[in-house]
Amino acid sequence: MITGATSGIGLGCARKFAENGDKLILTGRNEQKLEAIRKELTGKGTKVHTLLFDVRDREQATRCINGLPEEWREIDVLVNNAGLALGLEPEYEGSFDDWETMIDTNIKGLLTMTRLIVPGMVARDRGHVINIGSVAGDAAYANGNVYCATKSAVKTLSDGLRLDVANSAVRVTNLKPGLVETNFSNTRFHGDTERAANVYKGIKPLTGEDIADVAVYAANAPAHVQIAEVLILATHQGSGSVIVRK
Ligand code: NDP
Ligand code: 8X3
């Protein structure tokens, strides 16, 4: 199951797990985009089930998960990917609405999915949660404040979950990408495409597929190997805030 499979890293994961021969439950909140990826992958022979819901809507999410048909109920891998940044402003000037959306999506949405899916994994003594954290969760960068805090929370929640499932064979991975060229910056800058394009100028950024490669590797590591955390930076990127552009 991949949340937010309609774009960027989630879409990359959908394609790479499909290439790996897996059956996919893809979730998203945009019906058209979800249908497009379903068509693309079923056309290549992958079995795909789609679920249309917003991860912030706990009732809708619960209904969708509880209503899964029998053959789709045993989820082996949950990629908690749906997430976003909104704004890049000093903490004392940020938008209350943007903060709320980031917290509701990146923290509470991820928790909702974890709470709904992991009990089945523990009961079956099999499963893997791959949370998409960020380099932004390792250290704050200027004006990143609330977004960085949500990704820091993803790290803490990943570490907490790993401890709590340690008596089972369930594995937990926190994948922390650096600069990945997706729709991320368009969203962050509320549709200012020029400002978004500048984020990736002068450096070869990562792609959704680059991150997906690591997710597929982690999910297919031998059962006794738990890839707990991976930081994936673009070459020429030193940290969340140090990027050498040429
Ligand atoms: P994209 O904007 O390309 O993709 C985000 C995906 O999440 C989209 O499918 C989007 O749906 C979905 N989504 C957002 N909010 C919700 C919601 N409330 N309910 C359901 N789906 C939702 O960005 P990325 O692929 O870059 O982002 C994916 C994850 O990777 C995020 O968690 C992000 O924080 C993280 N990340 C990104 C990095 C980057 O540099 N790009 C680096 C590190 C981490 P829709 O298409 O409908 O908007
Ligand atoms: C996304 C990458 O560095 O813009 O998490 O925060 S960054």
Any atom of ligand 2 within 6 Å of the Cβ of 240: yes
Whose C-alpha lies nearest to ligand 1, atom 32?
83
pLDDT at res. 156: 98
Residue type for position 67:
G
Atom nearest to 134 CA in ligand 2: 5
Task: Compute the distance from residue 126 Cα to the ligand 2 centre, in Å.
Answer: 31
pLDDT at res. 219: 98
Strands 128-132 and 171-177: parallel
Residue type for position 100:
E
pLDDT at res. 38: 98
Any atom of ligand 1 within 6 Å of the Cβ of 179: yes
Mean pLDDT of the chain: 98
Q: Note whether 155 and 112 are within 8 A (CB).
A: no
Any atom of ligand 2 within 6 Å of the Cβ of 136: yes
pLDDT at res. 158: 99
pLDDT at res. 9: 99
Write out the catalytic residue numbers: 147
pLDDT at res. 244: 97
Any atom of ligand 2 within 6 Å of the Cβ of 87: no
Query: Token pair of 191, please?
Result: 């549709």
pLDDT at res. 71: 97
Query: Residue 39, class by beta-carbon neighbours within 10 Å (0-12 exposed, 13-18 middle, 19+ buried)?
Result: exposed
Whose C-alpha lies nearest to ligand 1, atom 15?
83
Query: Residue 134, class by beta-carbon neighbours within 10 Å (0-12 exposed, 13-18 middle, 19+ buried)?
Result: buried
Ligand nearest to the CA of 141: 2
| pLDDT tens figures, 152-195 | 999 999 999 999 999 999 999 999 999 999 999 999 999 999 99
Any atom of ligand 1 within 6 Å of the Cβ of 80: no
Distance CA 86, CA 137 (A): 15
> Taking the chain (246 residues) in consecutive chunks of 10 residues, what is each chunk's mean pLDDT?
98 98 98 98 98 98 98 98 98 98 99 98 98 98 98 98 98 98 98 98 98 98 98 97 96
Atom nearest to 136 CA in ligand 1: 43
Q: Note whether 246 and 202 are within 8 A (CB).
A: yes
